[in-house]
Amino acid sequence: MPESPVDPTPYEVLGVDPRVGQEELRRAYRRLLRQTHPDTGGDAVLFVRVQRAWERVGTPEDRAAYDRGQGARSVAPEGGPAHAAGASGSAATPGSGFQAGFRSRRAPSSTVKARSYGHPGGQEREQYLALLREWVGRGVSIADPYDPALVRSAPREIRAWLAKAIAEESTAGIVGTLGIGYTIWNNVLTGRTLGGVPETIDHVVLGPAGLFAIQSEDWGGEVRLRKGEIVGEGVHPDEEPLRELGRGARSLARSLGVRFTSLVVVVPDAALTEPMAVVERGRLAGAVVVRRSLLPQLLRNGVGSADRASIDRAFELRTRLQNGIRLA
C-alpha cells in the first residue's frame, strides 16, 4: 500500500514522542500489543497496525533509516509551469508518485490529452508550505520542504494539506490521460463562501458520460458510506464531505445553468473496502465514493443509468462552462 503523508507515523501509532529512547519505545509497543491482541478482546486491525509500526522502527538501524526518510516516496511537485495548465488548455501532469525519494521524470508523450485548466493542488501546497515554515520557526532555512524525513516529522494537520494536494494532482493526472474527449477544470469557485473563504470544488470534469463534480481526498485511513455520508477514522465527526460537495455543486450549477450528472469523491484504493460505493436514496442519491484506480472507468461509463451526453451537447456544455467557470 503506497504511503501517504497523512498516514499515521509509527510513533503516532505507538503513542510516543519521536525522540523517546529505544527502551521506552519497546515498552509502548509491548503495552499496545497486550491491549490490542484479539485473543484478549482487542482490535485485530489495531493489532496489525501496531506490529507494522514496530517493524519500521523496532531496531535502532530500522529506526534510523525511517527517521532519515528512507523508503518514502517523493512528495515534491512536478512539472513547473507546465504542471499548472492555466488557460492554455494543456493537460495537467499526474501528481507526485512516491518513488524512493526521487522526483519522477517522464518521457514526452505524443498522446493527445484532455484539456485541463487551473492548478490542481496548488492552494493546498501553498498552505502546506506556509504552515511548515511556521512550524519550523521564523528564520530557519528549509533546504527541501518535501524531504521525506521532514514531512514525516511534521504534525499530522500539516501533512494533511500535502496529502490533499497529492490527491488532487493524482486525479487531474488520471483525467489527463483519458483523451481529447474530456475537459477538466481544477479548483473551481462555486460562488459561495465558508467562513469568509471562497468555496471551491476540486475538479469539474466534462466527458461523454456527463458532467461530474469531483473532490479528491486522502484521510489517511479507511472510509465508508453511512446514512448517505462518508465516515471514517480520519474524517472529523463534524465533516460532511458529500453534503458539502452537494451544496457547492448546486450553487455552481445554478450560476452556470447546467446540471451535474453525478457527485464523486475519489479516495486512495486502500481507503475503500469495495471498488465503489453509491448513495442509494435521498437528495444525494447517485453520489459516489470511488477508488482512485477506477475513476477512468466511472468517467467513461457514468453511474447507473445516467444518460450519456451527445457530442453536440458536450460541445455546447464545454463552451458554456469555459465561459462561466471561475478558477481560484
Q: Tell me if 287 is assigned to some domain.
A: yes
Share of the chain above pLDDT 70, in %: 84
Q: Quick one: 54 and 157 in the same domain?
A: no
The cell numbers describing 223, all together, are 472510509
Q: Tell me if 304 is assigned to some domain.
A: yes
pLDDT tens per residue across span 9-48: 999 999 999 999 999 999 999 999 999 999 888 888 899 9
Averaged pLDDT of the chain: 86
**Residue 231 three-state SS:** strand
Q: Tell me if 3 is assigned to some domain.
A: no
Q: Tell me if 5 is assigned to some domain.
A: no
Residue-range definition of the domain harbouring residue 20: 10-67
- State residue 261's pLDDT score: 93
Q: What mean pLDDT is predicted for residues 142-161?
A: 94
**How many Å apart are CA 263 and CA 47, to the nearest integer?**
35
Q: Quick one: 16 and 162 in the same domain?
A: no
**How many Å apart are CA 209 and CA 249, to the nearest integer?**
18
Query: Which residues lie closer than 8 Å to 75 by C-beta, 6 or more apart?
Result: 5, 96, 98, 146, 148, 151, 162, 166
Q: Tell me if 1 is assigned to some domain.
A: no
Q: What is the CATH number of the domain that holds 56?
A: 1.10.287.110
- State residue 291's pLDDT score: 97
Q: Quick one: 188 and 139 in the same domain?
A: yes
Q: Quick one: 142 and 55 in the same domain?
A: no
pLDDT tens per residue across span 60-94: 999 999 988 876 655 665 543 333 333 334 333 33
Question: Global pTM?
Answer: 0.82
**How many Å apart are CA 86 and CA 119, to the nearest integer?**
7
pLDDT tens per residue across span 227-286: 999 999 899 999 999 999 999 999 999 999 999 999 999 999 999 999 999 999 999 999
Q: Who has greater pLDDT, 112 or 173?
A: 173
